[in-house]
Amino acid sequence: MKVIDIILTNEKLSLEKAVDFVRAEQAGGIVTFVGTVRNQTKGKKVIRLEFEAYEKMALSEMRKIAEQILFDFEINSVAIYHRTGNLSIGEIPVVIAVSAPHRKAAFAACEFAMDRLKKTVPIWKKEFFEDGAVWVSAHP
């Protein structure tokens, strides 16, 4: 059975697709994380975001995360989707879904995957304000 689904795309992400992928008859629970573009950063109004990816390496790092959580946690399957390009407020840059026989493992694995994604996956976020744009986290 296929237990890992990785997608990097400039089209809208589907939470339903991720949940359908990880749903399994032996799973008891599914935990998902859905990122959404916030309308402000440290009180400053954000107009839109742009995500750039080093595509091949991003896919490979996303897969590494999926493989690691399958190894480290008692889970059944995992879907990790990330979007690239321009996103408006409220749109979804990332979706992670994890299914497991018991929910504790699903929660822990999903949170771990998301923490890891933000650290290792070569994707960059540019925030556009009314008076300019900034690459997030680039400078201390």
52 contact choice in a second copy, other proteins, none (CB below 5 to 8 Å, kind-dependent): other proteins
How close are the terminal C-alpha atoms of the chain, in Å?
A: 44
Q: For residues 35 and 37, what is the distance between their CA atoms, to the nearest angstrom?
A: 7
**Orientation angle between helical segments 55-72 and 103-120, nearest 10 degrees:** 150
67 lies in the site for other proteins, by CB under 8 A: no
Distance of CA 13 to the CA centre of its chain: 10
Contact between residue 33 and residue 117 where contact means Cβ atoms under 8 Å apart? no
Binding piece for a second copy, criterion CB under 8 A, among 60-68, 101-109, 121-129, 130-138: 101-109
44 contact choice in a second copy, other proteins, none (CB below 5 to 8 Å, kind-dependent): none
63 contact choice in a second copy, other proteins, none (CB below 5 to 8 Å, kind-dependent): none
18 lies in the site for other proteins, by CB under 8 A: no
Binding other proteins by CB under 8 A: which of 11, 12, 132, 137?
137
Nearer Cβ to other proteins (47/57): 57
Q: What letter would DSSP give residue 14? A: -
Stated length of the chain? 140
85 lies in the site for a second copy, by CB under 8 A: no
134 lies in the site for a second copy, by CB under 8 A: no
Contact between residue 132 and residue 77 where contact means Cβ atoms under 8 Å apart? no
Query: What is the binding site for other proteins (CB under 8 A)?
Result: 35, 51-54, 56-58, 60, 82, 93-94, 114, 117-126, 135-140
